[in-house]
Amino acid sequence: MRRGWTAALAISLAGVLTATACGGSGGEDAEGSVEVFSWWTGGGEAAGLDALIERFEADNAGIAFNNAAVAGGSGTNAQGVLESRLQANEPPDSFQGHAGAELMDYIEAGYLEPLTEFYAEQGLNEVFPPELLEQITLDGEIYSVPVNIHRSNVLWYNPGVLEEAGVEPPTTLAEFEDALATVEEETDAIPLSLGAQWTADHLLESILLASLGTEGYNALWQPGADWSTPEVTEALETFDRIYAYTNTDAGAADWQEASQAVVDGDAAFNIMGDWALSLFQEVGAVEGEDYGYVPTPGTDGTYLWLSDSFTLPVNAPNPEGAQAWLELVSSQEGQDIFNPLKGSIPARTDADASLYEGYLADALTDWQESTMAPSYQHGAAANNRQKSGINDAVGVYIRDGDVAALQEALVTAAGEAG
């Protein structure tokens, strides 16, 4: 059984925080091993984490780093493994959790220690955007350290395939549908590449945003939201038409294969979060030649955001080691090591902008200038119950292709969100 906030841990954590307040680094004092849980393995996922681990090991000679990453894009496998471990009271020392509704689930389940004192001691309250801090705060306590901001609504395209088809990068949903039809007629490329089922959910959030507009999309995540409206029907019908242009063997692969198909010229378009950039960098793809990018058509000016954050679980075996890890991921230096490799921008507001080039330079500007909409597939908008209801609904849609049934199931998922 999971235990609550124990007195013993309270004392040990207070000790850690005091040591830090006196100027000692958690890293220098801490020993043993630190187990950090995420789903960042393999192409386009691991480079940023590996660079952080290298830095951590250089700064913390006494602590062995135990990388407990579980493969599977969007945490599809990792999140189940994590939940079992948390329920069995066998937490890692720190785990990746999305800022927003997903983190609130963990907090409300009693899995997380507050990091409010850590924030005060490290001077972190001033370096994160207040709106982001709200996403990780409950009853006045802050519960995680955001390491980045990712953008979900990016349309990656292959310039050569678009040229062959004679289409321009689309900016509206209508243009997008026309472009997909033209690519299908004029080329051998897959019009829109997809991978594992979660990438269809990822596509759906972009289409909902494009079709409903930012206000309409954001309203879907308010308590009591109505998913039975004609506007949602229209959005789902658009999704259905667009989905028809995807590869039929999609479910066999994860996101990497779907994004790779764009730079290889096997697909014209892929809607994927900007972690795809990390994969493109790894395989030496060149912007302008092998790939281009625009916001998902119909969503220009809106950042469909998500944020990876790290936590201190209740009963973490090595809270001092966890704190050393959190110090690194919360620092300007740590964020600037991680994000240029991860394909994301720092959650901190004081990044060294010169390190962010090409797509990432645009992302830094867009993040400042855009309206915000939270991603549901990546934990910002929907709690785990609603997200899993949506994922089940999309799974049935992929099998049966029934749009009315999809809408009904989404209405049910919203009603069960609690």
Query: Binding residue for ligand GAL (CB under 6 A) from 210, 306, 363, 393?
Result: 306
**Dihedral (CA of 154, 157, 162, 165) sign:** negative
Smaller CB separation from ligand GAL, 190 or 272: 272
What is the Cα–Cα distance from 370 to 153, expressed in whole angstroms? 12
43, β-bridge pairs: none
Smaller CB separation from ligand GAL, 170 or 346: 346
Asked if 275 is part of the footprint of ligand GAL (rule: CB under 6 A), the reply reads yes
Asked if 387 is part of the footprint of ligand GAL (rule: CB under 6 A), the reply reads no
Q: Enumerate helices (H) and strands (E) in the chain, giving the number of each.
A: 18, 15
Query: Binding residue for ligand GAL (CB under 6 A) from 26, 73, 295, 297?
Result: 73
What is the Cα–Cα distance from 382 to 191, expressed in whole angstroms? 30
**Pair of tokens at residue 77:** 């496998």
Site string for ligand GAL, 98-137 (x = CB under 6 A): ----------------------------------------
Smaller CB separation from ligand GAL, 35 or 205: 205
Site string for ligand GAL, 38-67 (x = CB under 6 A): -xx----x----------------------
Strand, coil or helix: 361:
helix
Site string for ligand GAL, 135-174 (x = CB under 6 A): ---------------x------------------------
What is the Cα–Cα distance from 20 to 238, expressed in whole angstroms? 54
225: number of Cβ within 10 Å: 15
What is the H or E stretch that residue 98 is in?
Answer: strand 94-98
**Sole window of 37-45, 128-136, 164-172, 235-243 interacting with ligand GAL (rule: CB under 6 A):** 37-45
The count of residues in the chain is 418
What is the Cα–Cα distance from 50 to 126, expressed in whole angstroms? 28
What is the Cα–Cα distance from 410 to 201, expressed in whole angstroms? 12
Kindly state the smallest distance separating residue 166's Cβ from ligand GAL, in Å.
33
What is the Cα–Cα distance from 5 to 112, expressed in whole angstroms? 9
Burial class (CB in 10 A: 0-12, 13-18, 19+), 215: exposed
Smaller CB separation from ligand GAL, 40 or 111: 40
Smaller CB separation from ligand GAL, 189 or 277: 277
Asked if 74 is part of the footprint of ligand GAL (rule: CB under 6 A), the reply reads yes
Asked if 75 is part of the footprint of ligand GAL (rule: CB under 6 A), the reply reads yes
Instruction: Report yes or no: 116 and 142 within 8 Å, Cβ to Cβ.
Output: yes
Smaller CB separation from ligand GAL, 171 or 367: 367
- Could you identify the residue written with the tokens 């681990």? 53
Query: Binding residue for ligand GAL (CB under 6 A) from 378, 383, 397, 411?
Result: 378
Smaller CB separation from ligand GAL, 30 or 209: 209
Distance in angstroms between the alpha carbons of the first and the last residue of the chain = 24
295, β-bridge pairs: 154
Kindly state the smallest distance separating residue 75's Cβ from ligand GAL, in Å.
5
Compute how many residues bind ligand GAL; rule: CB under 6 A: 13
Asked if 327 is part of the footprint of ligand GAL (rule: CB under 6 A), the reply reads no
Radius of gyration for the chain, computed over Cα atoms and rounded to the nearest angstrom:
21
**Dihedral (CA of 211, 214, 217, 220) sign:** negative
Smaller CB separation from ligand GAL, 70 or 244: 70
Kindly state the smallest distance separating residue 165's Cβ from ligand GAL, in Å.
28
Asked if 257 is part of the footprint of ligand GAL (rule: CB under 6 A), the reply reads no
Kindly state the smallest distance separating residue 372's Cβ from ligand GAL, in Å.
16
Asked if 308 is part of the footprint of ligand GAL (rule: CB under 6 A), the reply reads yes
Kindly state the smallest distance separating residue 405's Cβ from ligand GAL, in Å.
27
Strand, coil or helix: 65:
strand
Positions touching ligand GAL (CB under 6 A) are 39-40, 45, 73-75, 150, 255, 273, 275, 306, 308, 378
